[in-house]
Structure 1
Amino acid sequence: MLASRTPVVYRAKPMTRPIMGFVRNALGLDPPASPDDPTPENRFHPWDQSPSPDLRERAARIKAMATCPVTHKDIQFTCPLSGIPTHHSREAWEKDTEYHKSKRYELLKKVNIYEHDLRSGRPFPEFDFPQDQDYDRMVNMSNWDLFFYTRSFYSMDTEFQLAAVTKMLSYPITIGSVLHQYSPYSLNPKGPITLEGLKSLAALRYTLYPEQSGRFRAGQDTPIRIFILGTRAEAQLPGHVWKQLQYLIPDTSIELHFVGPESFYDREKRSYVQSSTETIVKRIDEKMQLFYHTDFFHVFHEAQDFFPYDPYNDVFFCFHPGFAAPETEEYWMGDTMKALMQTKCAVFTTGFSKEDLLRDISIVQDKYGSELDMLMEPVPNVFGSTKWELNDTNPHEVYQFNMYIAGFRGKRYHAIEL
């Protein structure tokens, strides 16, 4: 079965980075503020009157799909404080005391201005990412600010710059923060990592940092395999964004395996590719390759395409998968979760909120409790996105990507009754 897989290989263009940003920051030669620089005032527009056709269409979609929380009728009124359609009428908006008391409109306004900023056409110097880390400089993984500073990112002084960059980097840096030797997550009781979690992470770090374990690589090293299941937007991130993960562990080769029916979007055909026999490969450089497996994980698992699994070399991530969501539960909690348990490898998962993640972890524990070990208790993700997002089917619901994180794995050792 494995021999029948046909890899399609793409090569990424080499990356370059000018040094003027570093010189400007080092000398404090910041240019005078431009009238086009983003502010809450110049980025605010009611969505139904937006200069962006995308956001006008989105406002129409909200009005067609969502219902007013007060009247339970369709939405026709745009909140003047947030600029987003929220209620059936002005009267309903005025009567919604919970909406005004909680000041939900403030978060909705952030959604509004962030989306307008991304479509503003301004220069985005914050997307000029750094490359290799100097060996005499240590990366600090304590939080976004220290990470950006110690990695020599462009100085991001506004919430708009942070929102744009953290949404993009949340996926690779969340992975890096878990695997890195200077991870911000420590062992219980002070941190969320359990004893079994420490064992799994120690095994992975033994591979990631061979020199520290007294080993030396002979010939070509075996890459670590990072499987990302149920991929959607994260699979469409450019290669240079994922390369930021490899810069954190520069001595290790990485294979990123995106698995799921929506893992590869063909821009020419404007549709997702789905195949259980074809693997699409993008080579970033000699240290990183991206693999796109366009079917469910259990399909490849049953075909033994990924065998053998190795807890020292393989790790799984599921970014806000919706294990417990009514529309996706059947896809996750059957053959796919059984396959994940059988790998005996670490699985880390994130959620849009604490409640979202707890629901996912609870359903896994309820169904497979005797077959799993918790590796990481649910905890706020240090590298969650700072950009606020909106649920178009319920414009009162706002969230951020990867806000909470937890980990588990199939139990390696079962108790034997004597």
Structure 2
Amino acid sequence: MASRAEKVVRSSLSHVCKSSPISLGAKRTPIPRLATSAAPAQSRTLGTCTGASRATAKSSRVETGKRSASAFSKAISRRPEEEQPTVKRVLREDDLFHSFSESPIPEIRRRAAFMRQHAYCPHPDHRPTRLSDSASGEPTTHTGSLPAAHVDFECPDCGIPVYCNKEHWMADYEKHLEICDTLRQINEDDHDLRSGRLFPEFDFAGPQIEESMINMTNWDTLLYTRNFEAINNDRSMRQATRLLTYPYTIGSVLHELSPYSVRKGGRLTTEGLKSFSALRYTLHPPKTGGGTEVSNLRLEAPPVRLFILGARAESSLPRDAWLQLAHIFPNSRIHLIFIGPESMMNRDDEFPLPPRTPANPFGAVVEDRIWPTMKISTIVDYYHTIHKTGEFYPYDPYFDCFVMFHPGLGHPASSHEWRDTIPLLLETKAPVIVTGYTQFDMERDIEYVKKTAAGEFEILLEPGENIFRSLRWDLNDMDPQDISAGNWGVWAFRGKRYETTRKDEE
């Protein structure tokens, strides 16, 4: 029989996990998935999806981060106002630091148990057990002959199991100090997310005033000019940007006031200016003088289609977050299309999926009433399967753009899933925006594209740190030394265009 304290915890967590009223599902999967964020979970597969291939990739760094972000997005969904007074706070603001194994939150204790079963001690006296996937990408320095050992000792400063015993922790303490403060921050942020407090930072701003210009210099200027409520706490800022990084990463590249330019240090290439200028022309249409009366009706451009490939965590974000795109592009229509074999993960209450019919050949889940100018479709299938059917043909650089959040193009466990997709993306000649967890992750993806499509693609946005990356750090449960941030880096490319020339007559 559950104790009174456990009942209080469950009551608080169930309140935090309430879905936003604007979200498609009435409820979301409970937050315990975050406790085993790196554990293989059953996925929904349709069509050409193969469970074996996805199971292999789930153990990789790419899937770990996406699953963690998805559970995070559910935990901070907005609550109905009438239920807010019933919240019972579990942790105070000055009581957020607890060791994972002794945490008052059951989910975090289960997460610590998972780490002890799967993460290995990084001390160099142990033999290496797996390829390094750290932020630096440096090769492992293990030179000893001791067999691999799972982590068991929790650092008293960060509260996370990082070494197999105290002796190895003390011997390697200088190296651990490089990430100890960040690990402690992750610890406190995870407890804050489940503390039972109200989250005013997730009351996102509504439509933009037409006379007010947006300043995309950084997060502070953007939130101020978008008329967000002031966020004066660093922790609240980290929690908010963990969600907003997805829409604003796209918006910062496509907006006419983008911080990325062709000027020195702006990272935008000449070809990038051509491609993104075409999209900006559509996203910022001139005033037509039209109205609601029949005599004032004017022709409107088709909606801009944003294909988000390999979707996982981003497809289950609260719809208030994705509506930020509609607010910064108020005069254009936007169609978000999430495509991927796991694009319906963490949306279990919406199963079973719609049947595949002639009118809906891929069984797409369509959300057509979230905002007058925005529509969202979710398709559980691989993109290359859909592309070959001509479902979205023709593609127009003025109206289409592809986005891949942390795709893992060059990751050994997931690169095979993109082998057929990359050539098809290059054929469309539409821009492809790609993000990465770390510098190493981003450079690995670029090398994969260079190797598989050498001479057939052009860089539109030089790789570099994303101005609107998540300010919150994430931890890989399979390797506590691997720390990353959502959408840390961003770059863009497209298929190479060949201009037609006429040979001069002799």
Give TM-score scaled by structure 1 length.
Answer: 0.87
Deviation for aligned residue 1:162: 0.8
Contact 2:354 2:365 in 1 (8 A): no
Q: CA deviation at 1:16?
A: 12
In the alignment, is residue 251 of structure 1 matched against residue 331 of structure 2? yes
Structure 2 match to 1:21: none
Write the deviation string for residues 285-315 of structure 1: whole angstroms up to 9, x where unpaired.
2210101011011011001011010000000
Which residue of structure 2 aligns with residue 7 of structure 1?
none
Q: Which residue of 2 aligns with 1:89?
A: 165
Structure 2 counterpart of 1:158, which letter? N
Relative to structure 1, is the Cα distance of residues 164 and 297 closer, same or farther in structure 2, using a 3 angstrom cutoff?
Answer: same
Task: Please report how far the alpha carbon of residue 416 of structure 1 lies from its aligned counterpart in structure 2 after TM superposition.
Answer: 7.6
Q: CA offsets, 1:209-263, max 9 Å, x none?
A: 1218x99893343110011100110010121110011100100110000010011
Aligned positions of 1:296-315 closer than 5 A: 296-315=382-401
Shift of 1:396: 1.1
Question: Displacement of 1:190 after TM fit?
Answer: 2.9
**SS of residue in 1 equivalent to 2:341:** coil
Quote the Cα distance in structure 1 between the aligned partners of 2:80 and 2:206: 8
Answer yes or no: is 1:133 the counterpart of 2:219.
Answer: no
Contact 1:12-1:239 within 8 A present in 2 as well: no
Q: Tell me, which stretches of 5 or more residues in structure 1 are unaligned? A: 1-9, 19-33
User: Which residue in the other structure is 1:43 paired with?
Assistant: 96
Return the match for 1:109 from 172, 181, 184.
184
Q: Distance in 2 between matches of 1:364 and 1:256?
A: 25
TM-superposition CA deviations, 1:60-85 (whole Å, max 9, x none): 01000011011431111111110111
Q: Aligned partners of 1:181, 1:109: CA distance in 2, in Å?
A: 39
Partner residue of 1:320? 406
Specify the alignment match of 1:208 in structure 2: 283
2:490 maps to 1:398: no
Q: Which residue of 1 aligns with 2:9?
A: none
Q: Give the equivalent residue in structure 2 for 1:267.
A: 348
Q: What is residue 31 of structure 2 aligned with on the other side?
A: none
Is 2:421 aligned against 1:336?
yes
SS at match of 1:268: helix
Q: Which amino acid aligns with 1:262?
A: E
> 2:410, 2:502 → 1: CA distance?
33
> Which residue of 1 is the match for residue 117 of structure 2?
64
Cα deviation 1:328-387 (Å, max 9, x = unaligned): 00111x211111111110001001111111110111012212111110110110000001
Amino acid at match of 2:415: E
Counterpart in the other structure of 1:351: 436
* Number of positions where the alignment pairs a residue of Structure 1 with one of Structure 2: 388
Task: Indicate the SS of the match to 1:190.
Answer: coil
Q: CA RMSD in A?
A: 2.7
What is the 5 A alignment of 1:161-240? 161-211=236-286, 218-240=298-320
1:73 equivalent in alignment to 2:149: yes
Q: Distance in 2 between matches of 1:247 and 1:322?
A: 30
Rounded Cα–Cα distance in structure 2 between residues aligned with 1:230 and 1:35: 36
Q: Would you tell me which structure has more strand in proportion to its own residues?
A: 1
Amino acid at match of 2:341: P
SS in 2 for 1:369: coil
Distance in 2 (CA, whole Å) between partners of 1:330 and 1:416 is: 37
Give the letter aligned to residue 229 of structure 2. Y
Distance 1:187-1:396 versus aligned 2 partners, 3 A rule: same
Partner amino acid, structure 2, of 1:77: F
CA contact (8 A) 1:163 1:385 kept: yes
Amino acid at match of 2:387: H
Looking at structure 1, the residues matched to 247 and 429 of structure 2 have their Cα atoms a distance apart, in angstroms, of 23
Distance across 2 between alignment mates of 1:117 and 1:335: 42
Aligned to 1:23: none
Secondary structure of residue in 2 paired with 1:278: coil
Task: Kindly state the Cα deviation for residue 277 of structure 1 after the two structures are TM-superposed.
Answer: 2.1
Superposition deviation, residue 208 in structure 1: 1.0
1:376 corresponds to 2:461 = yes
In the alignment, structure 1 residue 53 sits paired with structure 2 residue 102: no
Q: Percent identity?
A: 39
Amino acid at match of 1:235: S
> 1:415: Cα distance to partner?
7.9
1:87–1:361: structure 2 CA closer, same or farther, 3 Å change rule?
Answer: same
Residues of 1 paired with 2:385 and 2:152: CA distance?
A: 45
- Aligned AA (2:101): D
**Cα drift, residue 206 of structure 1:** 1.0
Cα distance change of structure 1 residues 273 and 360 upon mapping to structure 2, 3 Å threshold? farther
Counterparts in 2 of 1:294 and 1:165: CA distance versus 1, 3 Å:
same
Unaligned runs of at least 5 residues, structure 2: 1-22, 27-77, 82-88, 127-147, 291-296
- Decide whether the 8 Å contact of 1:17 with 1:130 is kept in 2: no
> Could you say which residue in structure 2 is the equivalent of 1:4?
none
Tell me the secondary structure at the aligned position of residue 263 of structure 1: coil
| 1:160 CA drift (Å) | 1.3
Separation in 2 of the partners of 1:16 and 1:120? 15
- CA deviation after TM superposition for structure 1 residue 269, in Å: 7.1
